[in-house]
Amino acid sequence: MSTQKDLQFELVSIDESKAPACSEGDNWFCYRIAQGSNMIVGYRRGSLRTVKRDVKEIIVGLNERRSGKRKQPVTKPGPKKTAKN
């Protein structure tokens, strides 16, 4: 039986990589995120520090969405309408 912890998305690895197909340039990293036996593989370009920060934000977002604790978007009130006679 799966526990709540088993269902959490977790970082498995971040490794230097060549550019993915249809991409160019240097400083690419391949990251792997697991949720139980499910695996997400993605690519990010940048410094290792930046990629780690970005991937951690992705994981937080995935876990919030999975648990239903997603932050509601902030809506700005529109212009006030005036009554027409």
Of 32, 33, 44, 30, the residue nearest 8 (C-alpha):
33
Burial class (CB in 10 A: 0-12, 13-18, 19+), 15: exposed
With 60 as the cut, is the pLDDT of residue 49 above it? yes
pLDDT of residue 47: 97
H or E segment and range at residue 65? helix 48-67
Average pLDDT for 15-40: 94
pTM exceeds 0.85: no
Counting residues of the chain whose pLDDT is more than 90, the rounded percentage is 66
Q: What is the dihedral of CA 10, 13, 14, 17, to 10 degrees?
A: -130
Tokens 């391949």 locate to 30
Phi, psi of 55 (to 5 degrees): -70, -40
Averaged pLDDT for residues 14-43: 95
Q: Which is higher by pLDDT, 6 or 21? A: 21
Q: Which of 5-14, 22-31, 71-80 is least confident?
A: 71-80
pLDDT of residue 68: 75
The number of residues in the chain equals 85
